[in-house]
Amino acid sequence: MKSNSKWLGIAICCLFTALLPPSARADDDCQITFSSPNVSFGWLKQDDIVNSQQGWNQMSSQEVHVSVSCPESQNIALFVQASAGEKGRFYFGNNGGLAVRVSQMIVDGKSYPIASTLDRVSFAPNDSALDSLLLHNNNGIIAMDNNQQVSGKMMNVTLTLTPVLNDNQFTHATDTVMLESNLQWEVLTK
């Protein structure tokens, strides 16, 4: 029996780099850890598509748990930066995308809604806080309670990483292709 399904051989990686440069007050005393610093989605093929819309194919997701711990209680913002398109969507290789959804914000053992921010100084939220949100390039996340930023020593969130590949990546694949995203994370405090 012969299989006609095309394989897109992808040894896929998402690399997490904790980036703590001296901006706004990068807290060198805060520590960031990831449950999986390198995420591999393995080999993907058309049979693995979870959902399709307008030529884009959503693949299976993986979760990564992130913990930030600081020696004293303070407002904590976690920013992400990576190679991205004009709308801030993360690239996954040259033609694919990587959706990064954040959820389950817990600060000092209590669950809070999440707001995104572009403000690296006062962490002013962009919109209303939600239980989960899709991150874009240069976005930060903060915990909110009744429209106020939450202070704490320990912040935990769950990242859901979902590769999104276009039809051409399957139909024009002639060999093994490595797709990567290198997400750099920055902890800021105030």
Render pLDDT for 35-92 as a digit per residue (tens, 0 to 9).
Answer: 988 888 777 777 777 787 887 877 878 899 999 999 999 999 999 998 888 888 888 8
Tell me the residue range of the domain where 56 lies: 8-189
Label residue 170 by pLDDT band (50, 70, 90).
Answer: low
For residue 67, being part of any structural domain is answered with yes
**Domain harbouring 61, CATH code:** 2.60.40
For residue 1, being part of any structural domain is answered with no
Residue-level pLDDT at 89 = 87
Where does 139-179 show beta strands of DSSP type E?
A: 140-145, 148-149, 151-166
- Return d(Cα 78, Cα 65) in angstroms, integer: 13
- Return d(Cα 55, Cα 167) in angstroms, integer: 5
For residue 2, being part of any structural domain is answered with no
Query: 115 - beta bridge partners?
Result: 142
For residue 17, being part of any structural domain is answered with yes
For residue 161, being part of any structural domain is answered with yes
Looking at the structure of the chain, the number of domains it has is: 1
- Least confident stretch, 19-23, 118-122, 124-128, 174-178: 19-23
